[in-house]
């Protein structure tokens, strides 16, 4: 029994390490961002977070979300992040890292909730993947509105976009880019996690 538990722990750690490696590879290679046109850039970096949270649970989702956030903070630093750091390093770290970690944590629990509703496992993988992209945008932009909305950088963005209020600003700022990320994360994350989970359960059934 102890050997089985130890084997499961080793497998769990190896899978988390593998997902972290995939996340870093996507970021450092540039494959994690797909330029659709000069103004549209779709990120795939939410996908390993979605798959890891679905297959391994909330703790893994939290770790992978934090890694995703750390990469967005460190390499390369976006103009927005660079503008927020002098205002508050603490709040910028919370924005980039903690909000993504919270997103991964929530996705893990959302998948478990959907599993109870979806006994045949038809939509639970895609539903959790959808919420990965949705919560990533919600938490990230929500924290910007909460903490940085009245800073000069955001005020200039609000004016240039012609936003009437914070919600209008989020819609205009996220725009089509957010919609593409929602679609790609839902389809790819849901399909891959469902396929991998099916393969793992089939292998375990064969051993049993």
Predicted local distance difference test score (pLDDT) of residue 88: 95
What is the tens place of the pLDDT at every residue in 116-156?
Answer: 998 888 899 999 999 999 999 999 999 999 999 999 999 99
Predicted local distance difference test score (pLDDT) of residue 204: 61
* Band (208; pLDDT cuts 50, 70, 90): low
Q: What is the mean pLDDT of the segment spanning 45-56?
A: 95
Per the confidence metrics, is the pTM higher than 0.85?
yes
DSSP state for residue 48 in the 8-state scheme: H
* Band (39; pLDDT cuts 50, 70, 90): very low
CA-atom Rg of the chain in angstroms: 18
Predicted local distance difference test score (pLDDT) of residue 73: 84
Predicted local distance difference test score (pLDDT) of residue 46: 93
Domains and CATH numbers, the chain: 2-30+41-207 (1.10.1760.20)
Residues facing 41 on adjacent strands: 35
Terminal alpha carbon distance of the chain: 15
Predicted local distance difference test score (pLDDT) of residue 207: 59
Cα(57)–Cα(41) distance, rounded to whole angstroms?
29
- Helix, strand counts (H, E) of the chain: 10, 2
Residue 1 has pLDDT above 70, yes or no: no
* Band (108; pLDDT cuts 50, 70, 90): very high
Predicted local distance difference test score (pLDDT) of residue 37: 54
Q: Which residue has the higher pLDDT, 34 or 179?
A: 179
**Contact present, 172 and 163 (Cβ < 8 Å):** yes
């Amino acid at each position: 029994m102890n050997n089985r538990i130890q084997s499961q722990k080793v497998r769990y750690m190896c899978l988390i390490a593998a997902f972290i490696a995939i996340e870093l590879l996507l970021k450092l290679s540039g494959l994690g961002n797909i330029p659709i046109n000069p103004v549209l850039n779709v990120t795939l970096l939410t996908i390993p977070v979605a798959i890891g949270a679905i297959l391994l649970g909330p703790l893994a989702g939290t770790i992978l979300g934090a890694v995703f956030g750390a990469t967005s903070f460190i390499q390369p630093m976006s103009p927005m992040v660079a503008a927020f750091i002098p205002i508050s390093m603490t709040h910028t770290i919370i924005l980039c890292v903690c909000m993504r970690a919270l997103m991964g944590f929530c996705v893990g629990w959302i998948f478990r909730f959907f599993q109870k509703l979806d006994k045949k496992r038809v939509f639970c993988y895609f539903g959790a993947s959808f919420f990965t992209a949705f919560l990533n945008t919600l938490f990230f932009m929500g924290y910007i509105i909460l903490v940085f909305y009245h800073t000069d950088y955001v005020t200039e963005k609000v004016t240039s976009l012609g936003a009437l209020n914070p919600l209008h600003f989020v819609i205009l700022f996220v725009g089509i880019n957010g919609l593409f990320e929602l679609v790609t994360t839902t389809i790819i994350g849901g399909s891959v996690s469902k396929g991998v989970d099916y393969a793992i359960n089939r292998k375990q059934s064969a051993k049993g």
